[in-house]
Chains A and B, each alone.
Chain A
């Protein structure tokens, strides 16, 4: 017995209503449950923010906290007119950096001219912890690049589905619901200035533990494979690749590693800027770093004033060796960067005020 047109219409109508209702509720719940990175692990918001920028930067930094805590794009802009963005996240592995470069080339309005890669993560041969994968990959836009990033990074028990629909990873966050989940329902908080995390506090170097000697200093196959891929991808896109090791005291950067990077750079015609040369527990003279006032966590990361010094020095290198235009004549770019500078200076002022009043900083978000 066939169905009449009317009853068929009713069936389709019900199905459509049910599907729409399901989709709306599902994505509403997903939005509520996924972390907003507003009060804890705010670094989780870094990767996502790139897509809110104009995506036309001349310089892209790739790496872990060695880039997002140590290089200030505002200094590069103010002193050299260089537009830059840091695509960095905590414990960002070399293959993460590779896929973020691929991602940048996929979505950028204009290709970068220079890519600066932090080599710190070359020491890691395997994915470390699921939460670190999340902090990097969850922020990426869905694309074949993201799928490949997931495949190369998964630790045991991680699946594709929960990266594509993070609801399935964060569904248990209902136990920790807070007003933050509603406040940032429509828009995540802004946590960085062009990928840079601002920290104005000081925690001077007091004690540096002795490094633990390793049985083998040779970089693993996987990071070397991806370093080669980054090099190739950069060359294919006429991008200058710069390898960099930031001037921080810990985790320890072994000389054997430095030599391998040096050899790789030499063999591939790349510039290698190793800021551990000349580095000691007091600081780095030629940059002007003083670890009694330019680090916020005892030599692991620079604070904003250290980052400004380092960026000022590094900007000079970029300007000297690469043909980077001074964008300070372009009114649209100037307007954008002026707004960023305002936010940057306002946050620093707020943090300094907090330090004066309470001894600690409480404000980390830009807005």
Chain B
């Protein structure tokens, strides 16, 4: 089927649909929501607790490699290649800096004048920096090269074949079909961040290769993030904190919350979404609107649920992972949305691609040169706009080797660019109506607008092919029937009324908890403030709702997290 090749999400949707309709079970990895994972976690916690503090990080490394190897031992080759390359290059940089420091010390003994010493030091520093830059570049080329080779080769061949066909060339190259290693986009980006930070002298260079291996492969985050920074993660990752009641309780609560979102909502609603995604001909217009809203819910509960489990699992070992979501559906603008959704990816692109590019000398020169053509004002903003579009092109490509994802990324970039251009207009509007922005209904309209805008952009993830997605968008105008949807629509979508209600009940709880979390307060802190019988009861309710209403076990596919495929 063509769609299985073109769009990873369609592939996943199709696969899931196939599994649902054929009652077929296929487990590729140790899923966070599997019993295997819970047993693995319990054993690892016990081993961690009985191991002396200085060796505890090693337990995490063994656990991480075991977890990763569960998907297939051959995948360990890729991740270990990345680790070895990174280690070798960063150690080289360290040696260069050590030699530089020794040489600088020696200058004092050579009897040179202060001015000459200064000059010699500067020259040596520049030379070392150039060499370090060379090693950094080599490292980045190699580790990004692995990512590119396994993830994008087939995409490149497919496009090359399309070009050949355009020129009526019958020559076609066959796809190589490499299985993409789990979480390669995540661990590669995390490692790239580390290498750049080492070059910028922001991160300490890890001298123990096994510790670097743990940073790269730490099991809770290796397959779907969050993408950590070395200087933050290393504080707790290697400390070998004692397992304590508080950490266990908080970690377990967070894991439970992740299970709840994933099993009670995301996986329960998944069959309806899968059904809509692979039947675009029959379900258009209002069904398209329903599908994109459903996808927003499913993706949020799936991805943030996975992140909750990752953060909770790390907390059991006293390791702190960065937050990846901050109530994104309360965003009032697309800029705000991207500061609340997949935060670590957004900040990664901002810090390692956008800022260096927008503030680069070349870009500034280009901005200066373009003044005559586009005028002073626009020329000043050009570096930002170009960098923005480039970053979002990369973001799309990072999500998947398909034109759908590239379109998704570019659309985000364009909307953000337009939004930036319209900022003065908004400011003028706000000046004229200063009290309006504080009114709840105005805020609600902004939230509503952002929610649906993001839904439309996200629909590139759902349907097979860019053209198809545009056709579905157009169907809202051309083929809209509200009555049909109300009379028989929902019941056709592979879910019973009870299932809709159970997902809705789950959704209300998520909404309620997220509402209580306003002001960046962790709900668990609020929960910690109430009397223990009530606290235990609330936890019990969520636990039993997950156990009873969760879509798992017999008749359900043990379904991957959506972001596991990136």
Instruction: List the interface of chain A (C-beta within 8 A of B).
Output: 11, 14, 17-18, 21-22, 25-26, 29, 33, 130, 156-159, 161-162, 167-169, 171-172, 174-175
Tell me the minimal C-beta distance from B24 to chain A in angstroms. Answer: 8
Chain B residues with Cβ below 8 Å from A158 are: 554
Chain B residues with Cβ below 8 Å from A167 are: 547
Interchain CB contact (< 8 A) of B498 among A21, A169, A175? A175
Known: A156-B25, A175-B496. A11 touches B536 (CB 8 A): no
- Contact between B544 and A25, CB atoms less than 8 A apart: yes
- Contact between A11 and B245, CB atoms less than 8 A apart: yes
Chain A residues with Cβ below 8 Å from B547 are: 26, 29, 167, 171
Interchain CB contact (< 8 A) of A29 among B245, B536, B548, B555? B548
Q: Does B512 contact A (CB under 8 A)?
A: no
Closest Cβ neighbor of A32 among chain B residues: B548
Known: A157-B25, A167-B547. A18 touches B553 (CB 8 A): no
A14 to B540, CA, bound (A): 13
A161 to B36, CA, bound (A): 11
Known: A156-B25, A157-B25. A171 touches B536 (CB 8 A): no
Known A-B contacts: A33-B548, A159-B35, A175-B496. Give 19 more (CB < 8 A). Answer: A14-B536, A17-B536, A18-B540, A21-B536, A21-B540, A25-B540, A26-B544, A26-B547, A157-B23, A157-B25, A161-B35, A168-B554, A169-B553, A171-B547, A171-B550, A172-B553, A172-B554, A174-B548, A175-B499
- Contact between A14 and B548, CB atoms less than 8 A apart: no
Interchain CB contact (< 8 A) of A171 among B496, B532, B548? B548
Interchain CB contact (< 8 A) of A157 among B498, B544, B550, B554? B554
Chain B residues with Cβ below 8 Å from A18 are: 536, 540
Chain A residues with Cβ below 8 Å from B25 are: 156-157
Chain A residues with Cβ below 8 Å from B499 are: 175
- Contact between B540 and A130, CB atoms less than 8 A apart: no
Q: Does B76 contact A (CB under 8 A)?
A: no
Closest Cβ neighbor of B498 among chain A residues: A175
Closest Cβ neighbor of A176 among chain B residues: B498
Can you list 28 A-B contacts (CB < 8 A)? A14-B532, A17-B536, A18-B536, A21-B536, A22-B540, A22-B543, A25-B540, A26-B544, A29-B548, A33-B548, A157-B23, A157-B25, A159-B35, A161-B35, A162-B553, A162-B554, A167-B547, A168-B554, A169-B553, A171-B547, A171-B550, A171-B553, A172-B553, A172-B554, A174-B498, A174-B548, A175-B498, A175-B499
A250 to B484, CA, bound (A): 48
- Residue-wise, chain B 14-36 has the 8 Å CB interface mask toward A (1 for contact) of 00000000010100000000010
Tell me the minimal C-beta distance from B500 to chain A in angstroms. Answer: 11
Q: Does B146 contact A (CB under 8 A)?
A: no
Q: Does B353 contact A (CB under 8 A)?
A: no
Closest Cβ neighbor of A130 among chain B residues: B554
- Contact between A168 and B496, CB atoms less than 8 A apart: no
Chain A residues with Cβ below 8 Å from B278 are: none
A34 to B255, CA, bound (A): 27
Chain A residues with Cβ below 8 Å from B35 are: 159, 161
Chain A residues with Cβ below 8 Å from B554 are: 130, 157-158, 162, 168-169, 172
Tell me the minimal C-beta distance from A170 to chain B in angstroms. Answer: 8
Chain B residues with Cβ below 8 Å from A26 are: 544, 547
- Residue-wise, chain B 476-504 has the 8 Å CB interface mask toward A (1 for contact) of 00000000000000000000101100000
Tell me the minimal C-beta distance from A12 to chain B in angstroms. Answer: 11
Q: Does B44 contact A (CB under 8 A)?
A: no
